[in-house]
A and B are shown apart, each in its own frame.
Chain A
Amino acid sequence: MIKVGLIGAGKMGISHLSILGAHPEVEIVGVSDTSKMVLDVLKQYSSFQTFTNYEEMMEEAKPQAVFVAVPTKFHAAMIKNVLLRNKHVFAEKPLSTTVEEGRELVEIAQTNNLVNQVGYHNKFIGTFQEAKVIIDNGYLGEIFHFTGESYGPLLIRAKQNNWRSNPLEGGGCLMDYASHVIDLINYVLGPIEKIKGSILKSFYSKNVEDSVFSLLELKSKISGVLSVNWSDETYRKMSTSLNIIGSKGKIICDANEFKVYFKTSDCPANYSKGWNVRHITDFTPPVNFYLRGEEYSAQVDYFIKAIQKKVPNTINNFQSAWNVDKVISLIRNSINN
């Protein structure tokens, strides 16, 4: 059994807690949060030990691994603190609010040989994984251009008073929504290196951007467009997609559906020339406990397995999340310049 503690029982924290609670190889030893109400509910109806102070939780409950799901501005200090106590860390995304802080976290985790992971769950979705396999094997030929998009109804009216709308706390569409797409592009197509220009636009928020539109260039010189808007109420929930065109074909892909067009019959064995449509049902390995999408359970399971040394700590490690932080910083700078 891996002893796990949680810091921050908000929307993501509670979701992780439930998935961890159902995991056969996890023992939840402590939960810390600053909300008295949340702690009271957990105290009364669950069997988890609760703490108002996360340091106390680590001292008393002695977890081997800690999930950090607090507002982004607290990430750097808390994650560092947890790492220095020699505990494996799963943190929510993005890793940190600044590139410098993120670098330090990557270094500490590596030096201390601790398992480190960030919650970019899209990498655990079968359709996106398939896109990567097709591209890595050259079936799309030379990649010409791509579009990475994400839309959702997170903020659809001029009324907000939480940390996501505060730039100082790591709020904003760039940090919250666009980070997912940036991470996915880095993973499927290769690292983003240059930002040719960006528009960060607010529709409803006073202090942060509600949308991000950027022209990207990858290290491989492939060009692309990033288009993200969290104020689109025509989406029931956040929806992320990739559209990639190459010399040998094209991929249109979201979390549910994978469509690929091959110009010739030079394609993988189970595909054919022309359009091929596959669905998430074709790619999804079953999980032992389902809460809100297989990928959320799969990423937690991967983290636990990495601690048990059953899988390498390569997917979504701090280094890869830090690469996203760097692109976020590049996008901000492309505005300031």
Chain B
Amino acid sequence: MDQILFGDNQFFAVNHISDEKSRALSIKFQNDRAILNTLDHAIATGINTFMCTTHDRIAKICEYIRSHPDTYKDFKIFPCMPYAHKYANAVTELGIVGTIKEFIPGNIFGSLFKGGTAYLSKDYLSIMELLVDAEMKMFKGLNTPIIFLQNNITDLLLGLRMKNVLKAFHDYIIRKYNAEPGFITMNMPQLLDTLEEVGIKNPAICASINKMGFRMSGGREVYENVLRTKKLRVVAMQVLAAGAIPPKEAIGYVCGLPNIESILFGASSKTNINETVSLIHEYNHKYKMEPS
């Protein structure tokens, strides 16, 4: 993993701190060109990985990247699936079965459920696999070395203790996409224990890591202890705690922790991108973080 990953929340009006800022972002990035310009700027600072949700608009960005292979030659994308709101809104409107029907194309669903009796275990995992394939379609031909499961789903499965489904996602990503599976979570300590239980070793986990303990379930100390004592490869997100921690302090803290392989951040302005990137370089150098 690269030391710095560029995120996409800012492109889709995801701002954890202000609905007003969300709307401003939504206006600023309503054209794909604005997204590409920001992405290009991030690339100009040396960032080489875009970590993004499977939002419909990402499909268009992917299309552009595909059609400009020279410009984006070594560019990597870490897809994060699914874009949950799409499904959550659909579940409210159509129900769970209706949602699956909506998102799985063709007759697969009909044939799979014909008769409505003996649903074998394999069938549900096939549905999961079909949904993964549907989400991955937009990245066809692009370099996606790590594919992440979004925290809404990771943590839902974690709470439901459906560890075999987490394992099935893990295995499918390796088998079908020859990529490394990753998990985004707001519950890193519990998730790591669960993944280890099903034999997943040294997993790539993306979690909130910040000096404030924001969205670090169970508290900062528990997280720090896991980072010190366990084997995992962490992408730190929400490093700035949605802007609540001054950048210097925020990045200084995260760079000083063990087992942090990457820092994920998103920004909408050139100034903020430049500032964050140079701070990460400064502190990485200070703590002599070795690139992987």
CB-CB < 8 A to B165: which residues of A? Answer: 45
Interchain CB contact (< 8 A) of A18 among B19, B91, B159, B213: B159
Q: Decide: A291 and B91 in contact? CB cutoff 8 A.
A: no
Beta-carbon nearest neighbor of A155 in chain B: B93
Q: Decide: A154 and B244 in contact? CB cutoff 8 A.
A: no
Which residues, 38 to 82 on A, are CB-close (under 8 Å) to B?
Answer: 38, 40-42, 44-48
CB-CB < 8 A to A15: which residues of B? Answer: 156
Query: CB-CB contacts of A121-165 with B at 8 A, as 1s and 0s?
Result: 000000000000000000000000000000001110001111010
CB-CB < 8 A to A46: which residues of B? Answer: 160-162
CB-CB < 8 A to B160: which residues of A? Answer: 14, 17-18, 21, 42, 45-46, 48
Interchain CB contact (< 8 A) of A281 among B97, B186, B212: B212
Q: Decide: A18 and B244 in contact? CB cutoff 8 A.
A: no
Cα distance, A92 to B158, chains bound together (Å): 23
CB-CB < 8 A to A161: which residues of B? Answer: 94
Which residues, 25 to 81 on B, are CB-close (under 8 Å) to A?
Answer: 26
Q: Decide: A289 and B190 in contact? CB cutoff 8 A.
A: yes
Cα distance, A192 to B96, chains bound together (Å): 36
Q: Decide: A154 and B93 in contact? CB cutoff 8 A.
A: yes
Given A15-B156, A40-B119, A282-B244, residue A47 in contact with residue B217 (CB < 8 A): no
Q: Quick check: is B92 within 8 A (CB to CB) of the other chain?
A: yes
Q: Decide: B16 and A288 in contact? CB cutoff 8 A.
A: no
Shortest C-beta distance, B172 to chain A (Å), equals 15
Main secondary structure of the interface of B (DSSP, over half): helix
Cα distance, A165 to B190, chains bound together (Å): 38
Beta-carbon nearest neighbor of A22 in chain B: B159
CB-CB < 8 A to A41: which residues of B? Answer: 124
Q: Quick check: is B255 within 8 A (CB to CB) of the other chain?
A: no
Q: Quick check: is A310 within 8 A (CB to CB) of the other chain?
A: no
Cα distance, A284 to B217, chains bound together (Å): 12
Q: Decide: B156 and A37 in contact? CB cutoff 8 A.
A: no
Q: Decide: B93 and A160 in contact? CB cutoff 8 A.
A: yes
Given A18-B155, A257-B18, A279-B18, residue A288 in contact with residue B91 (CB < 8 A): no
Most buried by B among A36, A155, A291: A291
Beta-carbon nearest neighbor of A233 in chain B: B89
Q: Decide: B26 and A234 in contact? CB cutoff 8 A.
A: yes
Cα distance, A271 to B243, chains bound together (Å): 20
Q: Decide: A38 and B155 in contact? CB cutoff 8 A.
A: no
Q: Quick check: is B179 within 8 A (CB to CB) of the other chain?
A: no
Q: Quick check: is A309 within 8 A (CB to CB) of the other chain?
A: no
Q: Quick check: is A256 within 8 A (CB to CB) of the other chain?
A: yes
Most buried by B among A17, A37, A159, A284: A37
Cα distance, A295 to B97, chains bound together (Å): 28
Cα distance, A128 to B29, chains bound together (Å): 30
Q: Decide: A44 and B16 in contact? CB cutoff 8 A.
A: no
Shortest C-beta distance, B107 to chain A (Å), equals 18
Cα distance, A286 to B241, chains bound together (Å): 13
Stretch from A236-244, A262-270, A326-334 contacting the other chain:
A236-244
Q: Decide: A281 and B242 in contact? CB cutoff 8 A.
A: yes
Q: Quick check: is B85 within 8 A (CB to CB) of the other chain?
A: yes
Query: CB-CB contacts of B1-29 with A at 8 A, as 1s and 0s?
Result: 00000000000111111111011001000
Given A14-B156, A18-B159, A40-B124, residue A256 in contact with residue B88 (CB < 8 A): no
CB-CB < 8 A to A10: which residues of B? Answer: 91, 95-96
Shortest C-beta distance, A237 to chain B (Å), equals 6
A interface residues (Cβ-Cβ under 8 A, vs B):
10-11, 14-15, 17-22, 35-38, 40-42, 44-48, 153-155, 159-162, 164, 234, 236-237, 239, 241, 254, 256-257, 279-282, 284, 286-292
List the 3 closest A-B pairs by CB distance, nearest first. Answer: A18-B159, A290-B186, A281-B244
Taking A17-B160, A18-B159, A164-B92 as given, write out 15 further A-B residue pairs in contact, using a Cβ cutoff of 8 Å, ordered by the A residue number: A10-B95, A20-B159, A35-B96, A44-B124, A45-B164, A46-B161, A154-B93, A236-B12, A236-B13, A256-B17, A279-B244, A281-B214, A287-B217, A290-B187, A291-B156
